[in-house]
Structure 1
Amino acid sequence: MQLTNDTYDHLKWFVLIFLPALAVLCQGIGELYQIPDMPNAVSLINLFTIFLGTILQISTHHYHQGGNHAT
């Protein structure tokens, strides 16, 4: 699957900025309102962030290896 530069930039922003900010927000709300299962939700967001970040890094690596295609 080939990604356009615009799509890649949006995904990168989503993974590097939005998801970590969402995890911190959820953690803060969970602590503030003592929501018992919020740590699980925060862990899930962080795991998803790591997964997507890894996929984006692999895609970037393939692109810079000269294939000029993103996976």
Structure 2
Amino acid sequence: MFLDNDSYDKAKWLVLIFLPALAVLIKGVGEVLYWEAVDVWITLINLGTAFLGTILQISSQHYYGGGDGNGQRPRYS
């Protein structure tokens, strides 16, 4: 699966900036308001973030590695 640059940049922002910040926000608010099972939600967000980060890294390696083993970037027509 190939992402265009704009989609990749948005997904990278989501995984590197938004989801970790969301996890911190939910943890903080949840502790202040005594939400039940807040740790479960934080764990789920962090697991999803780790999964998406891995997928993005694989996508990045395919892009810069060419995806076909020749070391060149794929060409888009």
Scaled by the length of structure 1, the TM-score of the pair is 0.91
**Corresponding residue for 1:31?**
31
Report the RMSD for the aligned CA atoms in angstroms.
1.2
Tell me, in whole angstroms, the C-alpha distance in 2 between the residues paired with 1:49 and 1:66.
Answer: 25
Give the AA of the match of 1:5. Answer: N
CA deviations over 1:17-53 (Å, ceiling 9, x no partner): 0000000000001110111211100100000000000
- Which structure dedicates a bigger proportion of its chain to helix? 1
Task: Give the greater-gyration-radius structure (CA).
Answer: 2
Identify unmatched segments of 5+ residues in structure 2.
68-73
Give the AA of the match of 2:47. Answer: L
Higher relative contact order, structure no. (Cα contacts within 8 Å, ≥ 6 residues apart): 1
State the aligned residue count. 69
Tell me, in whole angstroms, the C-alpha distance in 2 between the residues paired with 1:24 and 1:33.
Answer: 14
| Structure 1 segments (4+ residues) deviating >4 Å | none
Tell me, in whole angstroms, the C-alpha distance in 2 between the residues paired with 1:3 and 1:61.
Answer: 12
Residue 3 of structure 1 aligns to a residue whose secondary structure is coil
Give the AA of the match of 1:47. Answer: L
Identify unmatched segments of 5+ residues in structure 1.
none
The alignment-based identity, stated in percent, is: 58
Scaled by the length of structure 2, the TM-score of the pair is 0.84
Residue 35 of structure 1 aligns to a residue whose secondary structure is coil
